[in-house]
Copies of this chain bind each other. A is one copy, B any other.
Amino acid sequence: MFFASDNWAGAHKSIAERLLAESADFAAAYGNSDYDKKVEARFSEIFEREVSVFFVATGTAANSLSLASVQRPGGIAFCHQEAHVTQDECGAPEFFSGASRLMPVAGDFGKIDPAELSAKIAAFPEDAVHHGRASAVTITQATEIGTVYSLPEIGEISAIAKKRNLPLHMDGARFANALVALNATPAEMTWKRGVDILSFGGTKNGCWCAEAIIFFNPEQAKEMPFIRKRAAQLFSKSRFISAQFDAYLENGLWLDLARHSNGMAERLRAGIGASNSARLAWPTASNEVFAVIQKSAAKTAEGRGAKFYEWPIPAGMPDLLSEGETLVRLVTSFATTEADVDGFLKCLAA
């Protein structure tokens, strides 16, 4: 009953086996082997256009280097106030982009509110040298609190960014989960809606450590080979990332894994919805479920070995809790089983 995070799971067997299979051979280092290039090329197929791809090894790196690539002196990147980039990366995005700033923007359900975004950007006229200047917008898909931007919502954010020529970055640490939730194609959820740069996450969805930075306009990627190397993210045995993606992308494994973890979340949501002693805190669509449960039930669950985090009420939300209740985050993964879910649901009823 591991619901603490999808990164508590290990790696999918097919991915670990591919790594084992790849371990025997020699190949050119630093991403220069044919194998690396073949796997990189797969992304152009998946996204239905020529893209520039840079493998890195952590989500922190993917987001930070994406933002670094569009850095300007005094630059400000706008993100949701609960975004991972601003909450959980110890200042890495600012560090890698030469002390550019992240500007939190409010919005319900973990999503940037378009009007708020417009207002925040408007506070930085193009030549206002004292205030700094707008340099990028970044959204998280799926969001930190389990919700998913619809395609029109992405388009709306993108239109606001484009008005000021700001590149739009998508933190796709849970890209596959969002994609499956929307039943959309990778192209539809990204460049067709104005996304310029994508952190394409593999780690949370079954890889050991495989993240790809995707530039939909390769011209914007010109500095990236140097940015990545200087950031200590160019791997000598780069194909250990390639091998993970090779297996991950093969025969739609990545989508199957996301469908599985989303399905497990759905099973959790259904069970909680039907429960007398718990309720959903807000609707979610990906592999995260937020529930208000009895503190006693939380205790019971922990006693039976369940792992999960109690969670603070997100900024801007009304207080959701009555006496004796707590908010918990439950994250499912490719490795979550029906037994895990049902076991947890039983704790609620206990």
Contacts and interface: CB of A to CB of B under 8 A. Distances in A.
A20 to B, nearest CB: 4
Size category of the binding interface on chain A: 35 or more
B232 A73 contact: no
A235 interface: yes
Contacts of A129: 30, 90, 225-226, 229, 234
Nearest to A239: B10
Interface stretch (A57-65, A250-258, A293-301, A316-324): A57-65
Given A95-B230, A235-B209, A237-B209, A13 B24 contact: yes
Interface in A51-72: 56-61, 64-65, 68, 72
A20 B91 CA distance: 33
A129 B335 CA distance: 27
A11 B230 contact: no
A90, A100, A239: most-surrounded residue (chain B CB, <10 A): A90
A312 to B, nearest CB: 8
Contacts of A8: 26-29
Nearest to A86: B101
A234 B235 CA distance: 15
Contact of A90 (B56, B58, B95, B230): B230
A200 interface: no
B203 A91 contact: no
A231 B92 contact: yes
A132 B129 CA distance: 28
A43 interface: no
A90 B229 contact: yes
B57 A229 contact: no
A17 to B, nearest CB: 6
A4 interface: yes
Interface in A169-224: 203-204, 208-209, 223
Contacts of A16: 19-20, 23
State the oligomeric state as a number of copies. Answer: 4
A19 to B, nearest CB: 6
A240 B208 contact: yes
Nearest to A228: B129
Interface in A30-89: 30, 56-61, 64-65, 68, 72-76, 87-89
Given A26-B335, A209-B240, A226-B74, A95 B99 contact: yes
Contacts of A225: 127, 129
A259 interface: no
A75 to B, nearest CB: 8
Given A28-B8, A57-B57, A131-B87, A23 B208 contact: yes
B232 A96 contact: yes
Given A73-B223, A223-B73, A92 B240 contact: no
B17 A20 contact: yes
Contacts of A60: 229, 232, 234
B101 A91 contact: yes
A276 B197 CA distance: 57
15 contacts: A10-B22, A11-B19, A11-B23, A60-B232, A68-B73, A73-B90, A89-B229, A89-B230, A90-B226, A90-B229, A91-B230, A95-B231, A96-B232, A129-B225, A208-B237
